[in-house]
């Protein structure tokens, strides 16, 4: 498998694999950080790369500690208020509030060892984290590429010990076995990992430059929030949807664009999801039944589906064009027509829509939506 295929797979994993929890992101981030650290515990054997699971447990502790310490409700899972190790990490956080907080915990973990009176609590946290890592994201990552479990990550448990005299990083490394990934994935993570993690992304470099240029009066977080700010607000989305609903109400009968079925109540669906392509144009808004819209969510319409529903899509485009000709023609020219003449806009816009969706599915790794 070449690097292009591996990068496409990584993109599919990030976009398509289950997003019910943040575990997938924490696992990928941890593996990339370990590789970027060039850990001396990394071993190469038979086209696979082996890494102690304890190194991942340490990364997870460092990722999740400040999230739960903050006091803000920052959800890490859908459908539940707690991650698997919520209770255990809260005990450690509470204990360290008077012992140096996050920095005090890290210093003990890396240098001094966890105090003996916290040994049992620390071990329980490490054990639950190791079990969560190996039984959940490691098992399921790659299911968007193949139906097999553990298709990319493979895990080999270690000889589990109880509470040791010294509870530190070495204890984690020695206790929780090892996992492996294909060498090709390791090489891709080594080359592009810092960009995937964001440490060397354009946004982060921009923010760091601005912070230094300000004499460090600003924080990276302040600059990143501004750099990433979208010009389209929730109010703008509501206004566009309200306008679209008004147009449809004049039509009287409304059909779900994806099924063709008549619907009395409808959702206004972003054909190409707003979260993927921050586009609030009228051509990108189409009526859908609530059930179908919920099923589609952040998926991209497949080429086959667009072909099958072409007449219905054009019907609604014509309807909106009739009511809002100036706005519609301006928006569709900028997004789909480009330099092509407007008098041929129907076929040109459908062809470009299919091209954009094909790119998002096959080059960016987003999941296709099909009925």
Could you report the per-residue pLDDT of 40-71, keeping only the tens digit for each?
A: 899 999 999 999 999 999 999 999 999 999 87
Helix extents (H) in 136-200 = 137-140, 169-175, 183-197
**Six-digit token pair at 43?**
């071993």
Global confidence as pTM: 0.77
| CA-wise closest residue to 193 among 357, 355, 34, 13 | 34
Residues 6+ apart with CB under 8 A from 305: 258, 369, 370, 371
Q: What is the per-residue burial (b if ≥16 Cβ within 10 Å, else e) of 304-341?
A: ebbebbeebbbebbebbbebbeebbeebbbebbbeeee
Burial 160-188 (b: 16+ CB within 10 A, else e): eeeeeeebbbebbbebbbbbbbbebbbeb
Assigned token pair, 337? 């027509």
pLDDT of residue 93: 97
pLDDT score, position 15: 75
Domain ranges for the chain, please list them.
Answer: 3-217, 234-369
Q: Three-state SS for 211?
A: helix
For 317-352, how does the pLDDT look when each residue is reduced to its tens digit (9 = 90+)? Answer: 998 899 889 999 999 998 999 989 898 899 999 999
**Mean pLDDT for the chain overall:** 89
**How far is residue 4's CA from residue 20's CA, in Å, rounded to a whole number?**
27
Q: Tens digits of per-residue pLDDT, 233-282? A: 777 677 878 888 888 788 778 889 999 998 888 888 899 998 888 888 99
pLDDT score of 169 more than 90: yes
Measured CA to CA, the distance from residue 150 to residue 168 in angstroms comes to 28
Contact 177, 157 (CB under 8 A): yes
Residue 175 near residue 126, CB atoms below 8 Å? yes
CB of 29 closer than 8 Å to CB of 22: no
Q: What percent of the chain has pLDDT over 70?
A: 97
pLDDT of 356 strictly over 80: yes
Compare 140 and 253 and report the one with higher pLDDT: 140
CA-closest candidate to residue 255, choices 244, 269, 266: 266
Mean pLDDT of 133-150: 91
What are the helix (H) ranges across the chain? 3-16, 23-36, 53-69, 86-96, 101-107, 119-135, 137-140, 169-175, 183-197, 202-213, 220-227, 234-251, 290-296, 303-308, 310-323, 325-332, 345-362
Asked if residue 24 has pLDDT above 70, the reply is yes
């Amino acid at each position: 498998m070449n690097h292009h295929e591996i990068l496409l797979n990584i993109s599919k994993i990030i976009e398509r694999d289950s997003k019910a929890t943040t575990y997938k992101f924490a696992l990928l981030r941890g593996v990339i950080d370990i590789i970027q650290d060039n850990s001396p515990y990394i071993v190469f054997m038979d086209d696979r790369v082996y890494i102690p699971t304890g190194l991942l447990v340490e990364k997870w502790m460092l990722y999740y500690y400040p999230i739960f310490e903050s006091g803000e409700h920052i959800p890490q899972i859908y459908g539940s208020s707690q991650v698997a190790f919520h209770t255990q990490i809260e005990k450690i956080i509470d204990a360290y509030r008077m012992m140096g907080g996050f920095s005090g915990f890290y210093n003990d973990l890396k240098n001094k060892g966890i105090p003996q009176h916290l040994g049992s609590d620390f071990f329980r946290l490490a054990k639950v984290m190791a079990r969560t890592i190996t039984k959940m994201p490691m098992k399921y990552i790659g299911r968007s590429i193949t139906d097999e479990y553990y298709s990319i990550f493979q895990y080999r448990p270690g000889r589990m010990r109880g509470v040791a005299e010294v509870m530190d990083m070495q204890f984690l490394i020695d206790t929780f076995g090892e996992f492996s990934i294909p060498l090709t994935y390791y090489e891709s993570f080594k080359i592009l990992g810092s960009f995937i993690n964001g440490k060397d992304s354009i946004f982060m470099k921009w923010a760091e430059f601005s912070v230094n240029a300000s004499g460090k009066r600003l924080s990276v977080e302040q600059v990143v929030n501004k750099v990433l700010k979208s010009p389209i607000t929730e109010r703008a989305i509501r206004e566009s949807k309200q306008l679209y609903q008004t147009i449809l109400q004049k039509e009287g009968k409304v059909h779900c664009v994806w099924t063709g079925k008549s619907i009395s109540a409808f959702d206004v669906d972003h054909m190409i999801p707003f979260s993927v392509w921050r586009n609030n144009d009228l051509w990108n808004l189409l009526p859908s039944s609530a059930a179908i819209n919920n099923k589609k969510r952040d998926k991209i319409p497949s080429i086959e589906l667009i072909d099958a529903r072409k007449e219905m899509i054009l019907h609604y485009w014509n309807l909106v064009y009739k009511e809002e000709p100036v706005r519609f023609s301006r928006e569709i020219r900028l997004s789909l027509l480009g330099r092509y003449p407007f008098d041929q806009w129907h076929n040109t816009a459908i062809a470009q829509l299919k091209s954009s969706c094909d790119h998002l599915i096959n080059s960016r790794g987003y999941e296709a939506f099909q009925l």
